[in-house]
Structure 1
């Protein structure tokens, strides 16, 4: 990843390297993001606020506020109804664990340390699907697995469920509390108060501020826009004396507009 960044934008790569890796990479975040990346969260927000990118900034803020004001009570009512119905875990986690339980039946596990809950889980080969079985270490006490899914998502993967079945333990005891419906309800129960009419807003003085546009950011009305891409080694020709070739016949000495082979 760093090699790609360096080839495209050296300055940007240097800036990222100066930042702690746990702040912008999922591999070093200590499993604190539950498998979510900043780009994924941004795409979720863009899907909800679809159609507002072309609007002015005031309209974008208004649309965002009232869209969330309508979404939060709706989600809160959904999770509150599930809590009153006796549900504890969210549907997405239950579906993933049930799918992992079906896969866990095709694995073989060996307990290496019963006190510290160390296991070795072996997958069986599936020749008709081209799947070769591998071995993974599972440490239930630290809630880790070599597969990485248990560490990142904070609920048991198929290998951890196999280890739990070896000791006849409930795999739901290793699911993080953040997946409980109670926690989700606490997130969505916050409300956005109604905004009064603009005529009742308190007056604000903008005297010390001068809101003037930046003329350097003004786009030229005519002509081809200037490229802002940072050039690198890919844009440099292999030989400096290489003549420019025609875009039509790929021969030197003329351009595509004056190419004699254009009619052919």
Structure 2
């Protein structure tokens, strides 16, 4: 915040007025599990990649079958891991094991056995500027550590693991249960029902007249269309489900109009840039 204040005081004042629980990890009380809004938006973009610039009907079908395949694939993978005896998801356990290695170098001191309060000293690190040589307060009753990582990610930090290792506690008991593969399986458990044929669609009870927004009406003349045309443009023609999942619409380069790349990675553009630089 001090850096923002030095660069742009107006931005600093604006951020001070916004509810910090809505945009910061340190004040969200662990509700985000360490995931920022940008991470979530990238997840949605990854699922819906390929649905852009399609006709509305094609876009809806593509989205439906893509999300269904996403659920089916992850449901089966999670079930396989459960049958193998795996308890925690890979992301959480990888973080846990990494913190275990760090915990081996920590020094633990018990402040109160009744209050289950401890201090953990970390050694200085020559490889990481500003890293190490700190003292953290760990409370097993409040389930807090002054480093903030345990509360933000709901995964035991290295300081908590060091306390558990010295006093013979199971550190995985302090891992949030939502990281269990059983919980992950329940997330993808719902099964999508196949879409009905258009002849089975119910008749609408009422028909509404949709009026255009006068402020959005374009000027005369046909605008240049960049929409990707496909088999859905043919009236009353259904596209096979497998085609939507495996062989989605292919983008064409805006420079050479060839498939398989875009204008940023176009070989023609790269050759032109190289020859330009040589001159």
Structure 1 residues 135 and 217, CA, compared in 2 at 3 Å: closer, same or farther?
farther
Using the alignment, how far apart are the partners of 2:24 and 2:217 within structure 1? 32
The root-mean-square deviation of aligned C-alpha atoms, in Å, is 3.0
Aligned pair 1:93/2:109, yes or no? Answer: no
Question: Does the Cα contact within 8 Å between 2:164 and 2:170 map onto a contact in 1?
Answer: yes
CA gap 1:155/1:53 in 2 versus in 1, 3 angstroms? same
> Partner of 2:183 in structure 1?
183
SS in 1 for 2:29: coil
Cα distance in 1, alignment partners of residues 54 and 190 from structure 2 = 27
TM superposition shift of 1:220: 9.2
Query: Does 2:50 correspond to 1:54?
Result: no
Displacement after TM superposition at 1:72 (Å): 0.9
1:195 shift after superposition: 0.4
The worse-fitting range, judged by mean Cα deviation, of 61-70 and 51-60 is 51-60
Larger Rg: 1
Provide TM-score, normalisation by structure 1.
0.71
Whole-Å separation in 1 of the counterparts to 2:57 and 2:25: 34
Aligned to 2:37: 38
TM-score by length of 2: 0.68
Q: CA deviation at 1:22?
A: 3.0
Q: Is the 8 A contact 2:100 2:161 kept in 1?
A: yes
Describe the SS at the equivalent of 1:97. helix
DSSP-derived class of the 1:127 partner: coil
Instruction: Report which structure shows greater RCO (CA 8 Å, sep ≥6).
Output: 2
Query: Who is 2:255 aligned against?
Result: none
Tell me the residue number matched to 1:147.
147
Partner of 2:117: 118
- Is 2:172 the counterpart of 1:199? no
> Which segments of 5 or more consecutive residues in structure 2 lack a partner in the other structure?
222-279
- Go from structure 1 to structure 2 and tell me whether the alpha carbon gap of 1:51 and 1:209 turns closer, same or farther (over 3 Å shift): same
Counterpart Cα distance in 1 of 2:220 and 2:100: 61
Contact kept in structure 1, 2:95 and 2:155, CA below 8 Å: no
Distance 1:214 1:190, change over 3 A: farther
Distance 2:123 2:26 in 1: 28
Distance 1:24 1:128, change over 3 A: closer
- The 3 A distance-change label for structure 1 pair 183 and 214 is farther
Cα displacement (A) at 1:151 = 0.4
Shift in Å, 1:48: 2.0
The CA distance in 1 between the partners of 2:33 and 2:132, in whole Å, is 28
* Offset of residue 176 of structure 1: 0.8
Distance 2:183 2:219 in 1: 48
> For this pair of structures, how many residues does the alignment match?
217
Cα distance in 2, alignment partners of residues 115 and 220 from structure 1: 80
Paired residue for 2:166? 166
The runs of 5 or more residues in structure 1 that have no matched partner are 222-264
Within 5 Å, which residues of 2 pair with 1:170-249?
Answer: 170-204=170-204, 207-216=207-216, 218=218
CA distance in 2 between counterparts of 1:39 and 1:47 reads 12
1:72 corresponds in structure 2 to 71
Aligned residue in 2 for 1:254: none
1:103–1:199: structure 2 CA closer, same or farther, 3 Å change rule?
A: same
